[in-house]
Structure 1
């Protein structure tokens, strides 16, 4: 089984007390935010991408002799002040997000499952800062072996597309291609093809700004009209490579 919530209580207890030579369990927690992604892409774009990465990595490692990958139920709510003023944005504060992550992590660590990997695709700076702080809390004070696949770090970002590296990827070509590869029925393709390029980079956006102030009048930037499912599959391949590497690294800690 791939999904943690599909296990029975007895199966989880067996995971936490494996016999010698058994595979090391690594739990993946898909993260994101429910927020507007232009007039063409779904509100749940970010957690959809995170889940897609997790499913692909779990499939790739299904028969791995060293690690056993399980996907936790997604936490799809995040810090999303940038989306203020648009319908569909569901913002939670930093302390709420931190508390949720720490509580979930504490429950798992307390049951003998300390290896948890946060898989996130929402890149608002305040959200990322909160994830990093939660990892530190769980590892420093609670004995966790928790990690965060931080895609905006240079060593990861340089492996992704030009649009991602330029910071124009909110509901642009990068993210829209990923949704087309995973859930194409959720993209309004006729609308997508009409959208002009919006040259706004979120990489240096001030924390107190929002999409409208940045010039993203339709809650997207970049070039979604150029998105393709083929590019999305290729990008998922790179993302899955990075996730598998992070899983293996965590599995030997």
Structure 2
């Protein structure tokens, strides 16, 4: 390779380095708060910035540096813009637990590790500053966040991840939480009301008669007939004597 070619190659490398400086040269912007501030390594972790990213940044990436990890840092939050804010602090979840990171990278965490979230241009990867915090693994399976990085033991609010609005005409009605049907939209015919079925009359229970009741009715009839005949004879005798 001629000296001229070497000079051209060096110029090209310099230009690429200037265009893609990477995230390792992050300028300090503030602190990174870790939640839970002290916990076992199997706990899900969130990291929160102390302020918003610069306007020039449209994304962020988070890394972890320390013993047993790559020199450029282990990526714990991949390049993303979910929840990014330029006006105030924001919070993002760490991709895995520290226990999972240790297993995936065949490392035992011990001592102090630096967490860093860098505000970047997602296309060129240009760094626009970052936030840092320090963890101390006092035991291989337990860490303590140091200083300003120590957040609460549990999240104080649910992590709200914004979603893109649905495309026009593609909205789907969400069924109501209760068991009642949703009211019809304006202009839609109301569904027919369910007709109540008339109550079916219940048949009267048949009267059960005992076996001796017909004989009783016959005896009463005979006695009545005899009484009528006797009364008629008595009246005829009385008239004949008069």
Question: Is the radius of gyration larger for structure 1 or structure 2?
Answer: 2
TM-score range, shorter chain: under 0.3
* TM-score, with structure 1 as normaliser: 0.21
